[in-house]
């Protein structure tokens, strides 16, 4: 394909890259005073990028027309679906940050710039059809994320989170690279299409090792058990808006990337990786559920909850079918709304002086003085637990249905039975908020941006969300179809 055609396909990344570079210059000249303005422009850039990727999703783009730079990059409907979620989550993370960071005098101009660069990286991750594009995208996102985790320089916990994330992230990248090198060595190519063709038929033991190492590296990025250890520490230590970001956009990107690697590059050898994914899925569900029970910090609890949710999504991947991929995308969309809502609600929990309240015990009796906020938290908790009629149930429903359709009834039965363990800690939060005597800790006022985003998320996960199932389902179906269309 011609160079100009390729450039047109990567237009969203170009818009974001240019915006990021320009904003970096603005940040350098104008300083931290302009932080809010830069944030607004960054949100506008993300919106523009979203506007550019939306047509590919609506038209269900797939096939040769979507491949850019000689098979390095693919702007198909699947990538568009993931990018829309990523840009949405990144935009929300920008909007909720100023009220929080300004309290610490840390609303610096670099914050929006880093988020924009991370978004570029994530966009490349989900569009990658070559191991090298994959790695560049992943590292661009990760480097921005390490800095973001340590964004509150004066806070020891934040610095610790950044360091931990960096060391473990670098280790995971190394594992991933090792897997990629094995794959390259045994298949002789770095392009997904080539790997797919090379693996059609038999598979060498070395390639199996390559798959194992690559999946291990990716499991770290999606925080699936047994590579989840960093998650609670980083989520707790990082500033809450950054945690919100970590729990949403990079999760989408890493999971979409894992899907592309497993279903596209290694799609012809599903048996080689299915067992690994099944183990990771069940282990994530169980560890995520059990680990959360003893937590006293709400951010750590939500971290375990996200591990738990990743487990459910991996069940869709374990099915290795188009329906499974579509179900994962639906679940991802709902998961982003639930996590976003959950962390924004945490941001809104402040004491009378405006300090963050993160101790679960301090939420006791919250429903007595913060009725709407309590209702939203209760809805998010029940939704995360997958209790109908909240929308979180739908995510689990489609994923398990895909597993049942792929004849994995035992996996589905085990997974759903384990979800009851998770229900215990979610309803514990509801119990603390609704049943206990008021502790009157979280009495502070909330910012309007937080309220608006929480209201949007709550409306989405409310039973009204079911009205979107057809629309969401058809988008996810066309995205999954484009992932499965072999050129």
Partner 1 sequence: MAGFPILTLMLLVPLVAATACLFVEAKAARSVALVATLINLALGVVLWANYEIGGAQWQFTERVELFAGFSYALGIDGIALMLIVLSVFLMPICIGASWESIQKRVGEYMAAFLLMETLMIGVFAAQDLFLFYIFFEAGLIPMYLIIGIWGGDNRIYAAYKFFLYTLLGSVLMLIAMMWMVNEAGTSDIPTLMAYDFAENAQTWLWLAFFASFAVKMPMWPVHTWLPDAHVQAPTAGSIILAGVLLKMGGYGFIRFSLPMFPEASAQFVWLVFTLSMIAVIYTSLVALVQQDMKKLIAYSSVAHMGIVTAGAFAFNVQGIEGSMIMMLSHGLVSGALFLAVGVIYDRLHTREIDRYGGLSINMPQYAIFFMLFTMASIGLPGTSGFVAEFLSLAGIYQVSTWVTLVCTTGIILGAAYMLYLYRRVVFGEQKNADAAAMPDLTMRELAMMVPLALAVLWMGVYPESFLAPMRADIAALDARIARAAPEGDSQLKIGPPKSDKADAAHGEEAEHGGAH
Question: By the criterion CB under 8 A, which residues form the site for partner 1?
Answer: 382, 387-389, 393, 397-398, 400-401, 404-405, 409, 412-413, 416-417, 419-420, 423-424, 427, 430-431, 434-435, 466-467, 469-470, 472-474
110-127 and 77-103 are packed helices; what angle lies between their axes, rounded to 10 degrees? 160
Compute the least distance from the CB of residue 395 to partner 1, in Å.
Answer: 12
- Cβ 392 vs Cβ 382: under 8 Å: yes
Closer to partner 1 by CB, 254 or 323: give it: 323
Q: How far is CA 66 from CA 8, 194, 433, in A?
A: 10, 17, 49
Closer to partner 1 by CB, 258 or 309: give it: 309
Task: Give the three-class secondary structure for 297.
Answer: strand
Compute the least distance from the CB of residue 463 to partner 1, in Å.
Answer: 8
- Cβ 428 vs Cβ 336: under 8 Å: no
Closer to partner 1 by CB, 253 or 430: give it: 430
Q: How far apart are CA 233 and CA 273, in angstroms?
A: 29
- φ/ψ of residue 321, rounded to 5: -120, 165
- φ/ψ of residue 275, rounded to 5: -65, -40
Compute the least distance from the CB of residue 401 to partner 1, in Å.
Answer: 5
Q: How far apart are CA 394 and CA 159, in angstroms?
A: 38
Compute the least distance from the CB of residue 297 to partner 1, in Å.
Answer: 22
| Helices and strands counted in the chain (H then E) | 19, 2
229: Cα separation from own chain's centroid: 17
Q: Which helix (H) or strand (E) holds 68?
A: strand 67-68
Closer to partner 1 by CB, 122 or 325: give it: 325
Q: How far apart are CA 96 and CA 435, in angstroms?
A: 30
Closer to partner 1 by CB, 388 or 444: give it: 388
Closer to partner 1 by CB, 343 or 393: give it: 393
Tokens found for residue 69: 């730079």
Compute the least distance from the CB of residue 389 to partner 1, in Å.
Answer: 5
Q: How far apart are CA 422 and CA 202, in angstroms?
A: 40
Closer to partner 1 by CB, 283 or 387: give it: 387
Compute the least distance from the CB of residue 403 to partner 1, in Å.
Answer: 9
Tokens found for residue 118: 């991370």
Please report where in the chains the tokens 């960093």 appear, as a residue.
230
416: Cα separation from own chain's centroid: 22
Closer to partner 1 by CB, 40 or 468: give it: 468
Compute the least distance from the CB of residue 288 to partner 1, in Å.
Answer: 17
Closer to partner 1 by CB, 6 or 401: give it: 401
Compute the least distance from the CB of residue 414 to partner 1, in Å.
Answer: 10
Q: How far apart are CA 314 and CA 111, in angstroms?
A: 31
Compute the least distance from the CB of residue 259 to partner 1, in Å.
Answer: 20
Nearest to 402 by CA among 350, 299, 325, 470: 325
Compute the least distance from the CB of residue 479 to partner 1, in Å.
Answer: 14
Q: How far apart are CA 187 and CA 214, in angstroms?
A: 14
Q: How far apart are CA 194 and CA 60, in angstroms?
A: 24
Closer to partner 1 by CB, 137 or 342: give it: 342
Q: How far apart are CA 432 and CA 310, in angstroms?
A: 26
Closer to partner 1 by CB, 97 or 328: give it: 328
Q: How far is CA 70 from CA 6, 132, 140, 272, in A?
A: 9, 13, 21, 28
Compute the least distance from the CB of residue 394 to partner 1, in Å.
Answer: 9
* Cis peptide bond prior to 362, omega within 30° of 0: no
Closer to partner 1 by CB, 184 or 466: give it: 466
Compute the least distance from the CB of residue 139 to partner 1, in Å.
Answer: 38
Nearest to 241 by CA among 113, 373, 152, 347: 347
Which residues, in sequence order, are CB contacts of 326 under 8 Å at separation 6+? 398, 402, 473, 476, 477, 479, 480
């Amino acid at each position: 394909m011609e160079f100009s055609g390729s450039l047109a396909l990567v237009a969203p990344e170009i818009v974001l890259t240019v915006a990021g570079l320009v904003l970096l210059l603005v940040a350098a000249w104008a300083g931290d005073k302009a932080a809010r303005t830069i944030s607004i422009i960054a949100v506008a850039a993300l919106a523009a990028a979203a506007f550019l990727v939306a047509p590919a999703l609506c038209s269900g783009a797939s096939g040769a027309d979507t491949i850019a730079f000689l098979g390095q990059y693919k702007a198909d409907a699947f990538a568009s679906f993931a990018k829309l979620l990523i840009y949405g989550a990144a935009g929300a993370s920008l909007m909720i940050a100023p009220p929080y960071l300004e309290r610490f005098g840390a609303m610096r101009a670099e914050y929006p710039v880093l988020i924009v660069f991370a978004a570029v990286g994530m966009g490349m991750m989900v569009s990658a059809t070559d191991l090298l594009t994959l790695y560049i995208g992943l590292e661009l996102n990760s480097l921005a994320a390490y800095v973001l985790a340590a964004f509150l320089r004066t806070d020891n916990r934040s610095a610790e989170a950044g360091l931990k994330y960096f060391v473990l992230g670098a280790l995971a990248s190394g594992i991933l690279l090792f897997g990629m090198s094995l794959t390259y060595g045994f298949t002789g190519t770095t392009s997904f299409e080539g790997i797919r063709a090379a693996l059609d038929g038999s598979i060498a033991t070395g390639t199996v090792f390559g798959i194992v190492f690559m999946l291990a590296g990716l499991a770290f990025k999606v925080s699936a058990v047994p590579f989840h250890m960093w998650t609670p520490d980083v989520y707790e230590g990082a500033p809450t808006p950054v945690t919100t970001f970590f729990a949403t956009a990079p999760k989408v990107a890493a999971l979409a990337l894992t899907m592309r690697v497993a279903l596209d590059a290694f799609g012809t050898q599903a048996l080689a990786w299915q067992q690994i994914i099944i183990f990771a899925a069940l282990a994530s569900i169980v560890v995520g559920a059990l680990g959360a029970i003893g937590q006293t910090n709400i951010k750590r609890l939500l971290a375990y909850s996200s591990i738990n949710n990743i487990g459910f999504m991996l069940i869709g991947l374990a099915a290795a079918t188009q329906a499974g991929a579509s179900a994962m995308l639906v679940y991802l969309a709902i998961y982003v709304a639930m996590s976003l809502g959950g962390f924004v609600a945490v941001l809104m929990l402040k004491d009378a002086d405006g300090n963050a309240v993160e101790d679960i015990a301090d939420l006791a009796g919250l429903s007595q003085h913060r009725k709407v906020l309590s209702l939203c938290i209760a809805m998010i908790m029940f939704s995360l637990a997958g209790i109908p009629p909240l929308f979180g149930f739908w995510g689990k429903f489609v994923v398990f249905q895909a597993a049942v359709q792929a004849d994995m009834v035992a996996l589905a039965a085990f997974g759903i039975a384990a979800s009851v363990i998770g229900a215990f800690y979610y309803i514990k939060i509801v119990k603390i908020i609704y049943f206990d005597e008021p502790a009157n800790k979280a009495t502070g006022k909330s910012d309007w941006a937080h309220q608006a985003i929480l209201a949007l998320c709550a409306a989405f996960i409310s039973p009204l969300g079911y009205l979107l199932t057809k629309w969401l389902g058809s988008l996810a179906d066309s995205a999954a179809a484009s992932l499965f269309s072999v050129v």
